[in-house]
């Protein structure tokens, strides 16, 4: 093997290592959750989210499939995403006190089961790279539920609704890969991340501008995919 080829392989495998580091962030988040340290739980999940945002573009840049044909980046990504998007948030939901027993276990059970099924669904991506059905971003949703205590009485209903939406023909935007409104989507995603960081740093409390930013960005990110879906259908009917 040429030196240049060996270097390319090392670079490609380093991206797999970056993706696999998500398992460490998930473990640290779980340990923090076991101690009831919710700010640190979501801080570690935030690190995992940032890694998940950059490893895909890096993988494509180093031609990872070509360099490492015997290693499945998709499989690795699914394992890590299930831990960070589903399993740890479900553990937090079961233990944070938002729901009394047995509803806490029922809600957490819905999260882990629907999440597992969604990762096995090969039709989760639409032609424009949106997600078909709620893309089990429970890390975001559980965080919002814990921050906005006013939603306490509605927690179980909200979890049930989004568990159903996992399998509904409703689109949810991928802020990076969906081209339409991408600059706005990325800006709103940055707003959510900044607001979430501020709320976590403030002991899972969002006040004033932070609360408004977190609520507005959450509603946008959860609803913009459906809005684009309706706009596309309307345009198709008009053209027809």
Confidence check: pLDDT of 213 > 80? yes
Residue-by-residue DSSP string for 180-202? TTHHHHHHHHHHHHHHHHHHHHT
176-180 mean pLDDT: 89
Distance, in Å, from the CA atom of 70 to the CA atom of 29, rounded to the nearest integer, reads 30
Name the residue ranges covered by the structural domains of the chain: 73-239
212-218 mean pLDDT: 98
Under the banding of pLDDT at 50, 70 and 90, the label for residue 8 is confident
Return the residue matching tokens 């009394």.
Answer: 100
210-235 mean pLDDT: 93
Question: Tens of pLDDT along 67-114?
Answer: 888 888 889 999 999 999 999 999 999 999 999 999 999 999 999 999
Contact (Cβ atoms closer than 8 angstroms) between residue 114 and residue 86:
no
Under the banding of pLDDT at 50, 70 and 90, the label for residue 150 is low
48-63 mean pLDDT: 89
Under the banding of pLDDT at 50, 70 and 90, the label for residue 3 is low
Nearest to 226 by CA among 159, 151, 183, 162: 162
């Amino acid at each position: 093997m040429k030196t240049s080829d060996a270097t390319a392989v090392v670079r490609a495998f380093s991206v797999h290592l970056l993706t696999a580091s998500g398992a460490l962030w998930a473990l640290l988040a779980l340990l923090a959750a076991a101690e009831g340290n919710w700010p640190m739980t979501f801080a570690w999940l935030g690190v995992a989210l940032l890694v998940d945002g950059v490893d895909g573009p890096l993988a494509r840049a180093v031609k990872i499939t070509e360099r490492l044909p015997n290693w499945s980046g998709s499989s690795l990504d699914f394992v890590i995403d299930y831990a960070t998007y589903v399993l740890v948030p479900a553990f937090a939901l079961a233990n944070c006190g938002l729901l009394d027993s047995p509803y806490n276990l029922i809600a957490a059970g819905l999260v882990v089961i629907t999440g597992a099924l969604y990762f096995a669904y090969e039709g989760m991506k639409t032609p424009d790279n949106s997600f078909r059905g709620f893309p089990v971003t429970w890390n975001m949703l559980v965080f919002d539920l814990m921050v906005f205590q006013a939603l306490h009485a509605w927690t179980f209903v909200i979890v049930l609704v989004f568990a159903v939406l996992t399998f509904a023909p409703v689109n949810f935007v991928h802020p990076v890969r969906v081209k339409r409104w991408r600059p706005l989507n990325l800006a709103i995603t940055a707003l959510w991340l900044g607001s979430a960081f501020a709320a976590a740093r403030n002991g899972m409390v969002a006040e004033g501008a932070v609360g408004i930013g977190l609520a507005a960005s959450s509603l946008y990110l959860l609803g913009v995919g459906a809005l684009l879906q309706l706009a596309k259908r309307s345009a198709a009917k008009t053209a027809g």
